[in-house]
Structure 1
Amino acid sequence: MKVAVADVGTNSSHLLLAEAVGSDYRVLDSLKDRTRLGECLDAAGHLTLEGEARLVDALTRFKALSVAAGIPELRVYATSALREAPNGPEVAARVLERTGVYPVAISGEREGQLTYLGAAHSVEFGPDNVLLDLGGGSLEFARGGPEHASDVLSLPLGAIRMTRAFISSDPPGRKEVQALQKHVRALLSPHVERFQARPGTRVVLSSGTAEAAATALSGLTEPGSVNGAHFTVSALGELLERVRTLRTPARAKLPGLERRADTIVAGLAVLHAALELLGAPEVTVSEGALREGMLIEELARFQAYAQGLSVRQRSVLATAERFGANLGHAGQVADLARTLLDSLRDAGEDFPADARSLLTAAAALHETGQIVSQSSHHKHSAYLIRHADLRGFGPREREIIAQVARYHRRSAPKPAHPEFMALPPEDRALVSRLAGVLRVADGLDRSHAGNTHVRSLQRGADGWTLQVTGASPLDLAGAREKADLWTREFGALNLSGDELP
């Protein structure tokens, strides 16, 4: 399985292409784009047309590189610049139209959790770890064990944000830096106990600013990896004071600071103030960050999905992979569809014993037709399923799977469709009901981000109420738009959702 993930930050955007190798992964390619969205925010925080154009340009190149590597699906998460922009959802929708890629704005807490996961697979974590991840717009804190964060905090202390707010001189004045650090301490002070360094705590930094500091402190003159590098907080303070006294052109000549000369003073000042307040004497630098966490989560999600399949469902998975389907999306839709079906059964709806298996197969294969053409791919999917070697499924079962997949989008089943009318009445009813479930499940992952989870499905006097978490605005809109067949088969569907942290 190959995966393409990208993160869109306030300062830069990063693409990572990798493939699964056992329980680990191998990087195939990577690309960085200095989108600098933080420069493209108006006084009210709206992303400007220039910022949107930069984002479109970066994601267009990211998408082209991922497709060239044989990875048709690109998952993109956006952080503070887009999530805080009042017009962020509108920008994301237009970017989808122009690039075919939807940048999902994630919360600062989720950003911290994923960055922690990425860092934990890049440097050795101990029983107690505190991670600081400094971006252009925000600073995330995360505390946890060897792999997962148990406590996460996001504060608006990013390097670009702080440069704009406090640094106006070149070189910056000492009072400017002192005011900035006073602001950092004021915001962090209420949370110190949660993230304070204790005996045995490993404090890890993950950011371009941290890597730049490690390079400058190491004395390296050529670019190289600083993953796992250590330095003391007192050394960081000395570097801050040395860099503060230089003008921007002089800072740009220092190894590691070439591309961060305009924001490095604020970035170092933020980290130094935060680390001093937390009582950290020494830090370790991790090059693993958000995108690595995204990659690890995606691979783990797929492996968990594959391990839970029966023998004949593994045949379905092999078929989906052979036809180039997006396995992450297929697995997510299958999970959502099964959860919805189970909830319908719990509420008293009657389905035959094999309904769950047939729905899982249809969900896994519903987009295989894209290998033929995006246009009418639902019909191409049905054709490919009918003629695929799905071991363990008989002719009747293959036909039901094909038709459920065929009706995952566009027209609902109707008497004018000869293949549908050729089915026995009980199978026509089953196809319509399962397709109604599949359409809603597919809509709930319209962003292909894999973040939506079903909280509850309940029947009431006015129909069904479906509560979900983690869904993006695009996912919620997708489910509502595709609830037509559900309404016909089960009754009206009312949908509500909130974002996962």
Structure 2
Amino acid sequence: MVDSVFTSWQSIPAQIVEQAQILAAIDMGTNSLHMVVVSIEPKLPAFTIITREKETVRLGDRNPETGELKPEVMARAISTLRRFQDIAKSCNAHSIIAVATSAVREAPNGREFLHQVKEEIGLNVDLISGYEEARRIYLGVLSGMEFNNQPHAIIDIGGGSTEIILGDSHEPRSLSSNKIGAVRLTSEFVTTDPITNSEYQYLQAYVQGMLERAAEDLHAHLQPGEIFRLVGTSGTIETVATIIAREKTGTVPSPLTGYEFSLRELRQLVDRLRKLNYSERAAIPGMNDRRSEIILAGATILQEAMTLLEAETLVVCERSLREGIIVDWMLTHGLIEDRLRYQSSIRQRSVIKTAQKYQVNLEHSDRVASFAMSLFNQTQEILHQWGLEEQELLWAAAMLHNCGHFISHSAHHKHSYYLIRHGELLGYTETEIEIIANIARYHRKSNPKKKHDSYRSLPSKRDRQIINHLSAFLRLAVALDRRQIGAVKRVRCDRHADSKEFYLYLTPSQPNDDCALELWSLDYKKALFETEFDVKLVAALEPATVSVR
């Protein structure tokens, strides 16, 4: 039964772009802000990089007592984003997609900062989870390297987190985001210059402990006898590769993608870096000043990761999160039909996987989702103006609305919120996950209220309105399958002219079924729908289906 909704969802027409478009992607990392501007050729499909921009802002340099982003750092970031906007506009970019990662994710004032960005320069920034960051890194690397259906491990060392991924040409098998990064570890563990032996040993042991679980999970997803190739992305790894290449051959490959170095060479470099102070590290050819501050911690993460993964060599890829953002956009807009096409259904597959994890009754959820989609579509442009993006959020919430039963029947709607919010849904931003969780939470009991923390903390009034409207649809959809036996075959909406009355006509699956419980449930659950859309809901059987007894 799940396949029916899944298939119908997949058949929703995507917005296909016919002509080449210019798109900018911004990655607001813990250490640096990066932007890539690309020209997308839909008919290939492919993209060509027009320009890259980078600014070391150090969002990870947070208040040590509160963990909040510092005012001067936020100001510096907004100034950089404004400059990025100007560059993107000069390149005739039709839109800018921006995401924020660990530094903003973890800061208590992170969402307020993103709101400030929106208010001051009009840029929407999506906050993404560590798992979603890892998935998009995978997409970025896969767009720039041929995996040939062989397993590849990917490591991306950022300022605040390190992502480790195992995937092949088909899908990512293992995704992990670990709270260790070059900026974070330098700030927390490196107090001497050059670093003392005892301090370095503590740093090394800490990194090992933080990466052990990710390494074990990756190995667990390998088939017997499989050997993976290790791919490295990020500024730390590119800097390490540049130094090693320059010292080995006197030149640096251009592009750097495809350059390979060994764990032995990395260990030799780390041993050297340990003995140098900041100024001496900065003097190494290929090292910039800001990178020299954090390179030891970053290189140590890489060294311990390669050791735990039992990888003797690493190959560099210059594509990463920024390019992954571009690929994800292309997937969302139906522009990719080749080896990456499988990823276009990542949201739906992630929802189904989560539903199965929490032992959801998939036949019931499928029917509820079908009814929710039907109500949404029939009332579009009549009662609401929401589009495909909101429809997909409603579908996800409908499929997962009952997952809270996994914890307890009592207050299961609240448990559903928690499981969805803290689960591992892929393909969604943090705000989208928050909206899905709230829609599911309000499928029964209390209407959305500002006194509820999860509802009040949403970034915008628009987000709250989405929840109000879509949870109203979900309540009716749940009522339409009240007995969970598929008693209602379909539902038809009809609004009488010059009247507030809005009719729902039910067609029973069985001709002699009066659907009394479903009609009662609709009457019980209609209040939110009536309030939000300013109508009076009347539910009845289709006239032709009323039987005479």
**8 Å CA contact 1:117, 1:293 repeated in 2:** yes
In structure 2, the CA distance between the partners of 1:483 and 1:274, relative to structure 1 (3 Å rule), is closer
Q: Which amino acid aligns with 1:23?
A: P
The answer to whether residue 97 in structure 2 is matched with residue 38 in structure 1 is no
In structure 2, the CA distance between the partners of 1:98 and 1:174, relative to structure 1 (3 Å rule), is same
Q: Which residue of 2 aligns with 1:11?
A: 31
CA distance in 1: counterparts of 2:125 and 2:372, whole angstroms: 36
In structure 2, the CA distance between the partners of 1:190 and 1:460, relative to structure 1 (3 Å rule), is closer
CA distance in 2: counterparts of 1:62 and 1:123, whole angstroms: 27
Deviation at 1:262, TM superposition (A): 0.7
Deviation at 1:117, TM superposition (A): 1.2
Q: Which amino acid aligns with 1:122?
A: G
Q: Which amino acid aligns with 1:73?
A: S
In structure 2, the CA distance between the partners of 1:2 and 1:450, relative to structure 1 (3 Å rule), is farther
Alignment of 1:339-418 (within 5 A): 346=371, 359=380, 404=381
Deviation at 1:191, TM superposition (A): 3.7
**8 Å CA contact 2:126, 2:431 repeated in 1:** no
The answer to whether residue 276 in structure 2 is matched with residue 276 in structure 1 is no
Q: Which residue of 1 aligns with 2:105?
A: 83
**8 Å CA contact 2:165, 2:176 repeated in 1:** yes
Q: Percent identity?
A: 28
Q: Which residue of 1 aligns with 2:181?
A: 158
Q: Which amino acid aligns with 1:79?
A: T
CA distance in 1: counterparts of 2:239 and 2:267, whole angstroms: 14
CA distance in 1: counterparts of 2:373 and 2:36, whole angstroms: 46
Q: Which residue of 2 aligns with 1:421?
A: none
Instruction: Give RMSD over aligned pairs.
Output: 3.8
Say which is worse superposed, 484-493 or 73-82, in terms of deviation: 484-493
CA distance in 2: counterparts of 1:159 and 1:146, whole angstroms: 29
**8 Å CA contact 2:129, 2:429 repeated in 1:** no
Q: CA deviation digits over 1:434-490, x for unaligned, max 9?
A: 43x459939979xx969837687797577799xxxxx99656742323677887977
In structure 2, the CA distance between the partners of 1:350 and 1:160, relative to structure 1 (3 Å rule), is closer
TM-score, reference length from structure 2: 0.61
**8 Å CA contact 1:42, 1:48 repeated in 2:** no
Q: Which residue of 2 aligns with 1:376?
A: none
The answer to whether residue 390 in structure 2 is matched with residue 441 in structure 1 is yes
Match of 1:302 among 315, 333, 336: 333
CA distance in 2: counterparts of 1:209 and 1:12, whole angstroms: 12
Deviation at 1:69, TM superposition (A): 2.4
In structure 2, the CA distance between the partners of 1:297 and 1:439, relative to structure 1 (3 Å rule), is closer
Match of 2:160 among 137, 143, 155: 137
CA distance in 2: counterparts of 1:261 and 1:58, whole angstroms: 22
Alignment of 1:60-459 (within 5 A): 60-125=82-147, 126-146=149-169, 148-196=171-219, 199-219=226-246, 220=250, 224-259=254-289, 260-303=291-334, 346=371, 359=380, 404=381, 431=382, 433-435=383-385, 437=386, 441=390, 452=432
Deviation at 1:84, TM superposition (A): 0.5
In structure 2, the CA distance between the partners of 1:165 and 1:40, relative to structure 1 (3 Å rule), is closer
Q: CA deviation digits over 1:354-397, x for unaligned, max 9?
A: x66x95xxxxxxxxxxxxxxxxxxxxxxxxxxxxxxxxxxxxxx
In structure 2, the CA distance between the partners of 1:484 and 1:199, relative to structure 1 (3 Å rule), is closer
Q: Which amino acid aligns with 1:250?
A: E
Deviation at 1:294, TM superposition (A): 0.6
CA distance in 2: counterparts of 1:173 and 1:271, whole angstroms: 20
Q: CA deviation digits over 1:155-187, x for unaligned, max 9?
A: 111011111222222222233222111111122
**8 Å CA contact 1:157, 1:184 repeated in 2:** yes
Deviation at 1:348, TM superposition (A): 10
**8 Å CA contact 1:135, 1:158 repeated in 2:** yes
Unaligned 5+ runs, structure 2? 1-20, 339-366, 395-427, 450-454, 473-499, 503-525, 533-549
CA distance in 2: counterparts of 1:451 and 1:43, whole angstroms: 27
3-state secondary structure, aligned to 1:346? helix
In structure 2, the CA distance between the partners of 1:28 and 1:343, relative to structure 1 (3 Å rule), is farther
How many residues get paired? 378
